[in-house]
Structure 1
Amino acid sequence: MNTRSILVVFTLLLITVRQLIAQSPGDTLINGDLLPNAPELAARGSYKVGVRTIKLVHPAQVDVLHGNAGKHPLYDRPLTVELWYPARVPGDKQPTVTYESTLGRANDPKRPLVPFTFQGRAARDAQPDPSGGAYPLVIVSHGYPGSRLLLTYLTENLASKGYVVAAIDHTESTYGDLAAFPSTLLNRALDDKFVLDEMARLAGKTSKSFLSGLLNADNTALIGYSMGGYGVLNAAGAGYSPQALKLFGQMSGGSTALEVRTQASPAYKASLDPRIKAVVAFAPWGMERGVWDADGLAGLRLPTLLVAGSKDDVSGYEKGVKAIYDGAVNADRHMLTYINARHNVAPNPPPSASMRPGVSSDEYMHYAEPAWNERRINNINQHFVTAFLGIHLKGMDNKKYLDLPEGDTAEGWPGFKPRMTVGLEMRHDKP
């Protein structure tokens, strides 16, 4: 190599080193940050974001995992909730926070628990920003197993747009405390309703909570993924079927505790909450197992956004999510489909910890999509959830982003850059 070539190589190396040195932590791509091809409404809003963790206890709940002959004791059910909200944060840059989560599954030696951390764009325990009045409330429910931190790309994004977002750690359904399935079948909708009640209490004028006056629980949306979708659809009006009760009894030793969430139950109909104005269900589980029938789906009357992969091999598509959409004949409903995606159309991208040597590949595949870029999915979800909630919780004129032509989507969707809607389908039907 001659002297000139050596000089050129040295110069290029020097430029690269300087660029690396110049990078700040803010240059790192964090969950929810925009890709260059992100749609319009994926961008963050004008508010800085605060985040806090609170502990709640739901007293005297049926302990379906203990007891016999269909009879069960009661227990005080603990719930951890992560809250994101518009905040007062000094400085021009977006704040950052370190979240602590876990890979693996409790009580599964083949998938041991692996703690990991990841970064978000929020300020821990920041003072709330009351300048927007009482913000709409969004309650978020994770999959089985999952955690309250599974969708931080979306929870932070919504808080930046003037929502208070409450994401639940569903006890006995998280990575760290995973227990038998009947607890998840019974408690999802009950947890959602209890958290809504608690948010209303903590937001009251006489409350000493930082939430006092910050949110309007009378203007609430529910968002759920997988088993979270199973729960939020039920909380929104889709009562479970006799088949669901039979399935639950088979799994729980004959318990009939789920009967109060079935469409035929007077107690279920009395429990439906007018404070809930809209529901978003990502890949909701259950339709392929007969969890809903025509009567139950007809009970869903709230505006509904369903999101699914056309190759979903967990919740199903044709006989799963699409069948829910087709059967919810009394709801103003949209369905966004990711063509060739499987089940993971909602969570954060795979954490770096899932790629460590020795960690089961199942931990990576718990988050990953085989045919789609997860960050791209996240941006698209941010766009459409923003449009949908803007209409139903804020009265915004966002219909052009949702009322889209069916069929070939290669061009022409408002808010999308040219060529960036390939692989997407949107359906819309009214009652």
Structure 2
Amino acid sequence: MIKNRLLVSILSSILFISTLSISFGQSPTNPFVYGDPLPDAPELAARGEYAVGVQTMDLVNKNQLDILNYGKGADSLYNRPLKVEIWYPAAAGSTDLISYDEVMGQNGSPTRPLIPFTFLGRATRNAKPVTADGSFPLVIVSHGYTGSRYLMTYLTENLASKGYVVVAIDHTEATFRDAGGFQSTLLNRSLDDLFVLDEMARLSQQNDTFLKNLVDSDNTALIGYSMGGYGAVNVAGAGYSPQAAQLFGSMSSGSKALLKRTMGNPEFEASIDPRIKVIVAFAPWGMQRGVWNAEGLAGIKIPSLFIAGSLDDISGYENGTKAIYEGAVNSDRYLLTYINARHNVAPNPAPAEALEKNLSIDEYLRYGDSVWDMRRMNNINQHFVTAFLGVHLKGKEDFKSYLVVDENAEKKEWPGFKPRTSVGLELDHKSAN
């Protein structure tokens, strides 16, 4: 009898594990791909109606200040290269599995050498774009320091399937492969974002690109994570503080180049681009270092969605993302908080290669969180970003209901969440003054 019970127990365990694997789509013929909905994914995490195409494009922003060599040459100018990945609604047909080439590690680090790896996505390389449905809103995605254009494919692919053209930037001198001095990131984030916006608008009007008539650049969202959030908040209207310009000068041989992005500077005020309708800032860096003051944050006048972990130890929470949210008094804004999460609220999950022995733990912690399942975070991000952009870029009035929730997820089930699953979250909202 005991042997029979033991056998039944073992067989039941095997069946449970097999069922669990199937439920998460993890099988040789149907692998789990970053961004796939888990069984407890909220409603708007699901992919949209479109197949997804993807292409890589190399851009060049001419005659830019070479801040890493400032003071070494007469003008210290260079033609700044930017590689971008573009996801877009593709013509009818099945979306293929695609392999993305990425690296772990840190350029120039003796303890963290670059380690190539690949991971799967759901897109078709060089697919023919949809042409019958007009142009699509533009979403520009900006990674952290360091990072890459592939850091958030769970979101970029997802948004493209819902009728957006999504452009993720490899910020030169700030990627895993080419990371350089931090002053390049401080100066170039907002400049890169605005240049890419101009390029997408230009290319959409040219006959010899796949982007012809595809991009509605007058209807743009900017999504940034960490240092990408630093740039997004600035582009949205929050000029940097005098303290930020001083910090930058101390790191760059006395350069005053960042003054052009500070509050009150006429050149900064003239750069506020009405084509950018909203921002989504994941764990934006800078507030805890005095990058903005009250006057600067009051300059944000477009809707904003901030997303952060309550224990963020890189950008800060109470003195970081939440302080930005509180200070953006002229923005209709939301703050989604992952309770007990740290900084990594935006990336893809850690690749399998990050689990290898004898690697720096930073290879895992570049992606992972020690409390939250990143696949779950990814699904929640898909849900709320879909709702937020749907309201403001596509005029989906019915999506507003997903943003009207009880502040504390544990008190009442949130719209779009399955029973017992809206836990560990808070969503705050404040209207513009």
Question: How high is the TM-score relative to the length of structure 2?
Answer: 0.93
Distance in 2 (alpha carbons) for counterparts of 1:98 and 1:181: 30
Distance in 1 (alpha carbons) for counterparts of 2:65 and 2:345: 32
Distance in 2 (alpha carbons) for counterparts of 1:183 and 1:240: 15
Aligned twin of 1:159: 160
CA contact (8 A) 1:411 1:418 kept: no
Aligned twin of 2:85: 82
Aligned twin of 1:355: 355
Distance in 2 (alpha carbons) for counterparts of 1:31 and 1:343: 19
CA-to-partner distance for each residue in 1:122-173, whole Å, 9 max, x for gaps?
Answer: 0011111123210000000000000000000000000000000000000000
Aligned twin of 2:283: 283
Larger deviation, residues 354-363 vs 105-114:
354-363
Distance in 2 (alpha carbons) for counterparts of 1:51 and 1:351: 21
CA-to-partner distance for each residue in 1:193-214, whole Å, 9 max, x for gaps?
Answer: 000000001111x431000011
Alpha-carbon distance, 1:428 to partner = 0.5
The number of equivalent residue pairs is 428
Aligned twin of 1:305: 305
Read off the aligned partner of 1:338 and give its amino acid letter.
Y
Distance in 1 (alpha carbons) for counterparts of 2:262 and 2:104: 34
Alpha-carbon distance, 1:28 to partner = 1.1
CA-to-partner distance for each residue in 1:268-317, whole Å, 9 max, x for gaps?
Answer: 00011111000000000000000000111000001000001000000000
Alpha-carbon distance, 1:26 to partner = 5.0
Distance in 2 (alpha carbons) for counterparts of 1:146 and 1:191: 15
Distance in 2 (alpha carbons) for counterparts of 1:157 and 1:24: 22
1:62 equivalent in alignment to 2:65: yes
Which runs of 5 or more structure 2 residues have no equivalent in the other structure?
Answer: none
Aligned twin of 2:240: 240
CA contact (8 A) 2:409 2:422 kept: no
CA contact (8 A) 1:89 1:123 kept: no
Distance in 1 (alpha carbons) for counterparts of 2:157 and 2:164: 9
Read off the aligned partner of 1:61 and give its amino acid letter.
Q
Read off the aligned partner of 1:77 and give its amino acid letter.
R
CA contact (8 A) 2:26 2:32 kept: no
Counterpart mapping for 1:30-429 below 5 A = 30-68=33-71, 73-88=76-91, 90-91=93-94, 94-204=95-205, 206-397=206-397, 398-407=399-408, 409-429=410-430
CA contact (8 A) 1:410 1:420 kept: no
**Aligned-partner SS, 1:132:** coil
Distance in 2 (alpha carbons) for counterparts of 1:318 and 1:173: 27
Distance in 1 (alpha carbons) for counterparts of 2:13 and 2:424: 40
Alpha-carbon distance, 1:88 to partner = 1.9
Alpha-carbon distance, 1:8 to partner = 9.3
Larger deviation, residues 406-415 vs 159-168:
406-415
Distance in 2 (alpha carbons) for counterparts of 1:131 and 1:145: 38
Distance in 2 (alpha carbons) for counterparts of 1:383 and 1:130: 26
**Aligned-partner SS, 1:37:** coil
CA contact (8 A) 1:307 1:335 kept: yes
Read off the aligned partner of 1:111 and give its amino acid letter.
R
Read off the aligned partner of 1:260 and give its amino acid letter.
K
Alpha-carbon distance, 1:71 to partner = 7.7
Distance in 1 (alpha carbons) for counterparts of 2:190 and 2:13: 57
Runs of 4+ in 1 over 4 A off after TM superposition: 7-16, 18-26, 69-72
**Aligned-partner SS, 1:54:** strand
Aligned twin of 1:29: 32
Distance in 1 (alpha carbons) for counterparts of 2:9 and 2:185: 59
**Aligned-partner SS, 2:68:** coil
Distance in 1 (alpha carbons) for counterparts of 2:344 and 2:14: 41
Distance in 1 (alpha carbons) for counterparts of 2:392 and 2:124: 28
Which runs of 5 or more structure 1 residues have no equivalent in the other structure?
Answer: none
Alpha-carbon distance, 1:403 to partner = 2.2
CA contact (8 A) 1:70 1:256 kept: no
CA contact (8 A) 1:411 1:419 kept: no
Read off the aligned partner of 1:137 and give its amino acid letter.
L
CA contact (8 A) 2:50 2:92 kept: no
Alpha-carbon distance, 1:405 to partner = 2.1
Alpha-carbon distance, 1:24 to partner = 6.0
Alpha-carbon distance, 1:27 to partner = 1.8
Distance in 1 (alpha carbons) for counterparts of 2:425 and 2:134: 36
Q: Pick closer, same or farther for the CA change 1:23–1:365 going to 2, 3 Å.
A: closer
CA contact (8 A) 1:69 1:254 kept: no
Q: Pick closer, same or farther for the CA change 1:423–1:395 going to 2, 3 Å.
A: same
Identical amino acids, percent of aligned pairs: 60
Q: Pick closer, same or farther for the CA change 1:332–1:76 going to 2, 3 Å.
A: same
Question: How high is the TM-score relative to the length of structure 1?
Answer: 0.94
Alpha-carbon distance, 1:11 to partner = 9.9
